[in-house]
């Protein structure tokens, strides 16, 4: 089987929705995400191809958590504004 190695660049842009659980007091809002990356496509003349890629997932998220402190009998509310910044490594196979 003869392989052809093809490097490529890609990016993804979208909106991630926050999940609000009905059993908790968390309020989460999603945010815009951006994921730039590079990859290598190992193509062959047969029906099988391999793909490897490395990218960086960047997304802002905000939210609020309400809980109760039993030791002091006080309600606690925590507001947060986070930047999620994760490296993503993917390995895949394609069939024609």
What pLDDT shows up at residue 46? 77
Structurally, the chain folds into a number of domains equal to 1
- Mean pLDDT taken over the chain: 85
Task: Tell me which residue of 25, 90, 26, 92 sits closest to 61, measured CA to CA.
Answer: 26
DSSP-assigned letter for residue 24: S
At residue 49, the 3 state secondary structure works out as strand
| 73 Rama sector, left if φ>0, alpha if ψ -120 to 50, beta otherwise | left
Q: What is the pTM of this model?
A: 0.68
Distance CA 54, CA 94 (A): 17
What is the reported pLDDT for 44?
75
Residue-range definition of the domain harbouring residue 38: 3-95
């Amino acid at each position: 089987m003869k392989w052809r190695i093809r490097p490529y660049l890609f990016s993804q842009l979208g909106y991630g929705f926050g999940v609000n659980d009905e059993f908790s007091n968390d309020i989460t809002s999603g945010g815009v995400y951006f994921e730039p990356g590079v990859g290598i496509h190992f193509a062959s003349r047969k029906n099988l191809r391999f793909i490897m890629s490395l990218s960086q997932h960047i997304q802002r998220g905000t939210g609020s958590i309400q809980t109760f402190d039993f030791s002091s009998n006080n309600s606690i509310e925590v507001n947060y504004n986070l930047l999620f910044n994760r490296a993503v490594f993917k390995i895949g196979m394609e069939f024609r």
